[in-house]
């Protein structure tokens, strides 16, 4: 080193600081790359993205290469800086070298390049991979040795570098990604994506028409009454049963009824011959699973049954689709308006039988849906008794006044959706 001039050593020191900045920036940029955008660019045959994905498949080797290079240049810079400061400041050279190099490496070799790389990871990472490839070839023996030693220590701690979790996302993480992408997605599309994710959490009980609200035709009724019910129905499929819903016979399609009517063959006997077999759905079936089953079986409607085979309610394909795209039928919208009525004082008069999921959606609440499915059921579970009218309570931060109770059911409540702090 004595034969090398001080100016040459300063030049070498500058190059080493630049190399340190390169390794620091590359490390931050490679780790900050968006994995999903990286896959997209690689699928578009982007050369820089393809190279980056190749290195990120073995992160232990990538980190080993960068740290071997970074530490080598930093140690070399420290030695050369000490020689330069010793020549210039004599006995104080070591102290000056330590202080000066710490400041120089910290600012120009660490903080500045890493900040730049964090802000523009693709601009830094993609060109850097061109240099990383030959460096890996040259330094591979050192990288291999370092990785073997490090992986050995990690294995003692029960950690395996081979069992990398990857970039898979859970439903909740994916939900967060959708919400964070609100600036790039129309609100309607965002709601639909969240609705698809919610299908995994909801079951058929959450959206079914409960048994006590089912409308059907009793084949044992008087013929005039049957004809009247058929004439006023607003549904395309009608449940036909004998005396009790538990003795359901099948579904009648209105097109079949009209065909029989035009042929003047509409009788109880022809109705019984026209029924379609019932498609049964076990309670607890997730909506995502049931959507697939509807598609596979070419069905659009089914009856939900419990473990004893008793009918609990009815679910249609349209009900599941509405969980994704929102309500799109006029009848449902009008019914929803009847269940929730805004009052002049800012409160809401709510039907006690409203589904909690619908209530949460309409009033932007977060009432629990993993237990009772209706507001009536939630209040009864909370009180553990049948309340009397004009009783008020505070339920999960909301003031509720019981307005009407009939037939052992809460028919209506006055609901103030403002959360009490």
Is the predicted pLDDT of residue 336 greater than 60, yes or no?
no
Q: Whole-angstrom Cα distance, residue 13 to residue 1? A: 13
What mean pLDDT is reported for the chain?
Answer: 84
pLDDT at 112: 93
Q: Whole-angstrom Cα distance, residue 301 to residue 318? A: 9
Token pair, residue 199, equals 């299908």
pLDDT band per the 50, 70, 90 thresholds, residue 166: low
The answer to whether residues 82 and 100 touch, using CB atoms and an 8 Å cutoff, is no
Alpha helices by DSSP H, listed for 302-418, are: 317-325, 330-339, 356-363, 375-383
- Any idea which residue has 């065909």 for tokens? 259
401-418 tens-digit pLDDT:
888 888 888 888 887 756
CATH fold label, 330-416: 3.30.465
- Any idea which residue has 């013929």 for tokens? 223
Sign of the C-alpha dihedral computed for residues 355, 361, 364 and 369 taken in this order:
positive
Higher pLDDT, 361 or 242: 242
pLDDT band per the 50, 70, 90 thresholds, residue 421: very low
pLDDT band per the 50, 70, 90 thresholds, residue 182: low
Q: Which of 12-26, 206-220, 247-261, 324-338 has the lowest mean pLDDT?
A: 324-338
pLDDT over 90, % of the chain: 19
Is the predicted pLDDT of residue 250 greater than 80, yes or no?
yes
SS3 content of the chain, % helix, strand, coil (to 5): 60, 15, 25
28-87 tens-digit pLDDT:
999 989 888 888 898 888 998 899 988 888 888 888 899 899 999 999 988 898 888 888
* Coil vs helix vs strand at 214: coil
pLDDT band per the 50, 70, 90 thresholds, residue 357: confident
pLDDT at 335: 47
Strands, sheet with 392-395, edge to edge from the N-terminal-most edge strand: 340-342, 348-351, 409-416, 398-406, 392-395
Higher pLDDT, 355 or 181: 355
As a dihedral over the C-alpha atoms of residue 287, residue 289, residue 295, residue 296, rounded to 10 degrees, the angle is -160
257-292 tens-digit pLDDT:
888 888 888 888 998 898 999 999 999 899 989 999
Q: What are the residues whose beta carbons fall under 8 Å from the beta carbon of 420, sequence distance 6 or more?
A: 394, 397, 398, 399
Give the number of other Cβ atoms within 10 Å of residue 267's Cβ: 12
Q: Where are the domains of the chain?
A: 6-156, 204-325, 330-416
Average pLDDT of the segment spanning 358-378? 83
* Coil vs helix vs strand at 304: strand
CATH fold label, 204-325: CBS-domain (3.10.580)
The answer to whether residues 6 and 93 touch, using CB atoms and an 8 Å cutoff, is no
Token pair, residue 216, equals 């059907």
Q: Whole-angstrom Cα distance, residue 382 to residue 351? A: 17
Is the predicted pLDDT of residue 390 greater than 90, yes or no?
no
pTM greater than the 0.75 cutoff: no
Average pLDDT of the segment spanning 189-198? 78
pLDDT at 133: 87
pLDDT band per the 50, 70, 90 thresholds, residue 396: confident
pLDDT at 343: 84
Higher pLDDT, 171 or 202: 202
């Amino acid at each position: 080193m004595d034969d090398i001039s001080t100016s040459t050593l300063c030049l070498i020191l500058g190059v080493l600081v630049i190399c340190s900045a390169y390794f620091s920036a590359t490390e931050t940029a490679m780790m900050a790359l968006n994995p999903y955008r990286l896959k997209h660019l690689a699928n578009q045959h982007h050369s820089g993205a393809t190279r980056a994905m190749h290195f990120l498949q073995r992160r232990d080797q990538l980190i080993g290469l960068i740290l071997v290079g970074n530490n080598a240049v930093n140690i070399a810079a420290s030695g050369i800086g000490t020689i330069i400061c010793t020549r210039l400041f004599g006995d104080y050279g070591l102290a000056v070298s330590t202080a000066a190099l710490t400041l120089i490496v910290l600012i120009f070799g660490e903080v500045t390049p890493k900040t730049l790389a964090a802000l523009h990871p693709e601009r830094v990472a993609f060109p850097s991979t061109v240099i990383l490839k030959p460096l890996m070839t040259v330094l591979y023996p050192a990288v291999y040795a370092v990785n073997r030693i490090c992986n050995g220590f990690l294995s003692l701690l029960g950690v395996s570098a081979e069992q990398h979790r990857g970039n898979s996302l859970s439903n909740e993480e994916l939900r967060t990604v959708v919400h964070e992408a609100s600036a790039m997605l129309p609100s309607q599309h965002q709601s639909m994506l969240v609705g698809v994710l919610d299908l995994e959490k909801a079951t058929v009980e959450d959206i079914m028409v409960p048994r006590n609200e089912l409308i059907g035709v009793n084949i044992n009724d008087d013929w005039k009454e049957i004809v009247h019910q058929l004439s006023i129905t607003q549904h395309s499929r009608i449940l036909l049963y004998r005396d009790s819903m538990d003795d359901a016979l099948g579904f009648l399609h209105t097109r079949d009824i009209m065909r029989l009517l035009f042929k003047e063959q509409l009788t109880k006997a022809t109705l019984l011959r026209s029924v379609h077999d019932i498609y049964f759905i076990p309670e607890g079936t997730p909506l995502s699973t049931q959507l697939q089953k509807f598609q596979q079986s070419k069905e659009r409607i089914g009856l939900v049954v419990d473990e004893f085979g008793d009918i609990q309610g009815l679910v249609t394909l349209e009900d599941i689709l509405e969980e994704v795209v929102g309500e799109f039928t006029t009848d449902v919208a009008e019914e929803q308006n009847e269940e929730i009525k805004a009052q002049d004082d800012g409160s809401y008069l709510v039907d006690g039988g409203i589904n909690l999921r619908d209530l949460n959606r309409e009033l932007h609440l977060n009432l629990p849906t993993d237990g009772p499915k209706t507001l009536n059921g939630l209040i009864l579970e909370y009180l553990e008794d049948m309340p009397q009218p004009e009783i008020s309570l505070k339920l999960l931060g909301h003031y509720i006044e019981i307005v009407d109770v009939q037939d052992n059911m809460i028919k209506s409540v006055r609901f103030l959706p403002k959360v009490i702090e």
